[in-house]
Amino acid sequence: MEKSTNSVGDGGIRLSQIKLEYNLSKINPKLGYFDNIIREFFFQKTLILNKWGIKEIAIIVLATVSFILGAWDIGIGELSGGGDYNRYGIFGENSGFLQVSDWTLMLSLLSLICWLGMIFSLWSEYPIMRENLAYLLVGSFAVQYGYMSSHAGNPSFPFDSQITDFGAIILGNLVLFFLSIIVVHRAVRETRDIHVQERHAHPDPRVVEEAWEDHSLRAWDVEMGVLILMLNVMSWAGTHAVAGRMNIESEELNYLLILLYVISGILSVFLLLVIIWFPHFMLGSAEERIQSVRAREVAGETVKKKPTVQQGRCPICNIETSAKKYSSGKIEIKCTEIDCRGKGNIGEKCGKCGKIIPTRIECRSCNSNTPVESHFSDEETW
């Protein structure tokens, strides 16, 4: 990989500056889409290495510790021994939670404290993504509850299962899909669109195109999909290890399931952190909150439309001219003074030489001299 001009260390690097040493499009032009995704992954990796600090590391450490403490059973035997299935629940004198061994209860409470610390850290560090964080957490809990419900009826799920056993998992994934894709994904993309249209508007379309490239979310889309997959793996592995602990003959297999649960859980938290952090990093200094266009309309906010620019054309030969008309109604042309490369609105002073911008323009193709207003079609809607 190589990057251009700006130093990564000062945080000034942009996605449009990232260049790949080898492009898959050389093999097949249709693979160019994957080149863009790889560029964005490299861009995110560069940002993470240079932007993440003690706060992000603390969030991942808290998540790692919470998973290990919640799944630790070596030397205790509470999980592997099966426990007393006649006692269940959290509240009450006879609840199963209060009947576990002292070590298990202590580790469970410490795990819960770490979980609350991690969620509070995400909530406080990324304020414009709070609403979307809540949606993702609700979706993840829905998937976990779905696997617990399915294993309650069949501890060996998905083996020896009936169609009805998949109902709770399908419902949980539908909730997760709706909240993550329809709500969070849409809110982030539409806020990104409004941000680029309003804060990166420029007369030069090349500058606007570069701004769209710098705010691309292709890799973020992939990470959202992988998060959904990892949440399913984590939920199944953890639930299966607990529900089938009395049916699994090999203790090593049970510990492999717990290890899979811990690894997939840590990956899920890492992806969740990236999904929350990246939009905040991209838009956090300019946006108060990340919402969809519809949510903004319901809140009574006006959503500005994308500024439009009409390119002038000679009314005689229909060749494009330097005149441009903006949605505000102003018309801009290049200054006609010799050795001046400035431009400005007709009838106003040039931004460089101070001369008045003329109201007529000469076509470079047919040499006709016509009013600038005639270079724009009356049929154009602004």
Element (H, E) at 321: strand 320-326
pLDDT digits (tens, 9 = 90+) for 261-284: 899 999 999 999 999 999 888 876
| Partners of 362 in beta bridges | 369
Residue with tokens 């501890």: 155
What's the confidence (pLDDT) of residue 9?
A: 34
DSSP category for residue 354 = -
Own/partner pairs for 290-296, CB < 8 Å, 24+ apart? 290/128, 290/129, 290/131, 290/132, 290/187, 290/188, 290/191, 291/131, 291/187, 291/190, 291/191, 292/183, 292/186, 292/187, 292/190, 292/191, 293/190, 293/194, 295/187
pLDDT, one tens digit per residue, over 214-230 is 888 888 999 999 999 99
Q: Which residues of the chain have pLDDT under 70?
A: 1-12, 16, 73-101, 203-204, 244-253, 284-289, 291-309, 326-329, 351, 377-382
* Count of residues in the chain: 382
Cα angle 253, 271, 238 (rounded to 5 degrees) comes to: 25
Which residues are CB-contacts of 121 (< 8 A; sequence separation ≥ 6)? 55, 58, 59, 62
Q: How far apart are CA 252 and CA 256, in angstroms?
A: 6
Contacts for 141 with CB less than 8 Å, ≥ 6 apart: none
**Dihedral pair phi/psi, residue 216, rounded to 5°:** -70, 150
pLDDT value of residue 143: 93
* pLDDT value, residue 223: 93
- Give the residue extent of every domain in the chain: 127-307, 314-375
> CA geometry: angle at 318 spanning 313 and 321, to 5°?
35
pLDDT of residue 4: 34
Angle, helices 102-125 vs 130-153, to 10°: value is 150
Q: What is the pLDDT of residue 289?
A: 63
Question: CA 148 to CA 137: how far, in whole Å?
Answer: 17
Which tokens hold the place of 328?
């505000």
Contact 83, 96 (CB under 8 A): yes
Say if residues 87 and 96 touch (Cβ distance below 8 Å): yes
CB 193 within 8 A of CB 299: no
Element (H, E) at 248: none
Half-sphere exposure of 100 (CA within 13 A, CB side): 21
| Structure confidence at residue 201 (pLDDT) | 73
Euclidean distance between CA atoms 348 and 359, whole angstroms: 10
- Structure token digits, residue 350: 């040039």
Neighbours of 45 (CB within 10 A): 12
Query: What pLDDT is stored for residue 344 in this prediction?
Result: 76
Instruction: Note the pLDDT of residue 8.
Output: 34
Predicted pLDDT of residue 83:
58
| Token code pair at residue 275 | 């999904």
